[in-house]
Amino acid sequence: MSNQELAARIIELIGGNSNISRAAHCMTRLRLNLHNNDLIQLKEIESLKGVLGAQMQNQQLQIIIGPQVGSLYNEIATQANINPAADGPKNNQKLFTRFLDILSGIFLPVIPAIAGAGMLKAIIALLKAANLVQVDGYTFQLFNMMADCIFYFLPFFLAVSSAKIFKTNATLAVALAAAILHPTFTAFVSAGDVTAIEFFGLPVRLVNYSYSVIPIVLSVWILSYVYRFVDKHMPNILKVIFTPTVVLLIMVPLELIVLGPLGSYAGSALTSFITYLFSVNAFIAGFVMSLIRPLTVMTGMHQGFTPVVFQNLAELGYDMLLPTMMMSTMAQFGATAAMYFRVRNREKKSLIVSASFSAIMGITEPALYGVLISYKKAFFAACLGGALGGGYISMTHFHLLSFASSSIVSLPLYFQSNVSNVLIAIAISIVSAFVLTLVLEKTDAAADNSASCGFPDTPQASTDTFPADTAAPLLHSAVISAPVSGRITPLSQVPDNTFASGILGDGFAIVPADGTIHAPVDGTVTALYSSKHAIGITSPDGLEVLVHIGLNTVQLEGRYFEAYVKSGDKVKKGQKLITFDLSSIQKEYNPITPVLVLNSNKKLDFLKEMNESVTANTDVLQVGFE
């Protein structure tokens, strides 16, 4: 399927052009904010050729494409008439989410140039190791210049991408970068004996802004406000000449006197904090950073570490975070590769092979979303394996002297020093994750995939279905009623891959019309989460039912919820279990409520039509179970 065809199908399956409020992409994921998430046909999107997976995260649709996502995004932007430069964060987004989106928007367009420069540095390292070039010769110096120019002039690249994100004049943003890297200013900095210079009596702090991140981003952000203000009040006949003139007269001195030094101080403080953590206990710091790496990727929070890496390189000349990221990547490869020996389905094996290759090449999303998220023990093994490798490499005080992707092809940069410890750390990460996965995970038929909600270990629902003319070997059957009034919807239309894919079990979902949850069956409360967003009930004959109120509502930590039962209580069908503030919750989260049968053999008979409105305690589903 061509990018043009795939873009057209995705737009169709998300409700059309008019449903798109914002579009962006990262290295592997297409990120779409939509006006109405109920229009998303998630299962159909996941089944498209060229789509590795799809999920909702923080009310954002993330479609996992791979490294070629940029081409697809451009096609979608063309077909949907999206202006990327004008597509900034919306005010109704959470502040932290907006911050991550801004970082992503600023750094991701620059990553290809940085990755290319990193590979050039890897080639230089190989040439040096093989004694193929003279370090003091012109060839080496020019080659090194090719690799270093991206990093030295990083403020120029960030100025362009920042201007797009902050929706301001790109040429003026580049002018700000030029001001802090102009030969005259850099000469003042290099002089050494010049402690301070003045501009109309105002002191200018001498800072080396090459390789820097925060000063130019901060300056372009302020530029966006200054430019809009000046342009708004400037007469139209004078705008072409005098708007940029006034803006430069304001911004360049402001940048040199206030914003640049302020950004430099902030960057130095950030670097000092990270350095302090690693100096206190390098093993624990590396262990924790690698341990949480997969979680930060899944939530998009990994973008927050990008400026820290560049600030470390600018301030210290080396970085200690990239090695921990590398070990996490290697561990995800190890855990994913191990699952090849724990699944039987040929299609899954093929996916695992592809995801493993992507992971070792530094693209972990296919492994995370296509494999590890479905097997909680393998996911745990990947986290722990990476943590052990990250702790070890940090304990050896290994530092990376240049930016490098977390990929096997970046090894030449790692091999410039301390080669044995690098190899040991990689081996620890891969082997420990691989072995832990083999030990913890059973064969696919018995894999425990209940990680999403933390429900106690239960057998996974079988994917077998019985032909219409064959009697199913049922031991029990039961009727499940609606736990809340509202509209019944197929589980496949729940905008969350964990529920929609049937990983946890079969069932249905309800778009609630009120805020009272009733017991769908007689039984015992076997799981009630401290956040009160989900409750599990086991009937006397062993049927296990999970009611999950809303998507991602665990983040509310119990706010808006009140429970009337506790774990271990006996309940009767129709008994009030939980109340929640529907109006408050739906302002922040999708309140759709999945009702799952965790030990069904897929012999289900629906007693009500899908999309039908029902009241609480109405019988909805007859289920056979073993």
Give the residue numbers marked as catalytic.
26
Q: 34 - beta bridge partners?
A: 20
**Distance between CA 1 and CA 8 in Å, rounded?**
11
47: tokens are 């089944």
Phi and psi for 598 in degrees, rounded to 5? -80, -20
277: region left, alpha or beta (phi > 0 left; psi from -120 to 50 alpha)? alpha
Count CB atoms within 10 A of the CB of residue 288: 17
CA distances from 601 to 499, 507, 535, 578, 597 (A): 17, 11, 21, 28, 9
In sequence order, what DSSP letters do the residues of 517-569 get, joined into one string?
Answer: EE-SSSEEEEEE-TT-SEEEEE-TT--EEEEE-SSSGGGGTTTTEEES--TT-
Residue found by looking up tokens 């919306």 in the block: 90
Count CB atoms within 10 A of the CB of residue 456: 12
**Distance between CA 574 and CA 519 in Å, rounded?**
5
The one-letter amino acid at 458 = T
The kind and range of the H/E element at 488 are strand 486-490
The kind and range of the H/E element at 478 are strand 476-481
The one-letter amino acid at 149 = C
453: tokens are 């909600």
Residue-level length of the chain: 626
Residue found by looking up tokens 């911050």 in the block: 99
501: tokens are 């894919």
Contact, 553 vs 533, CB < 8 A? yes
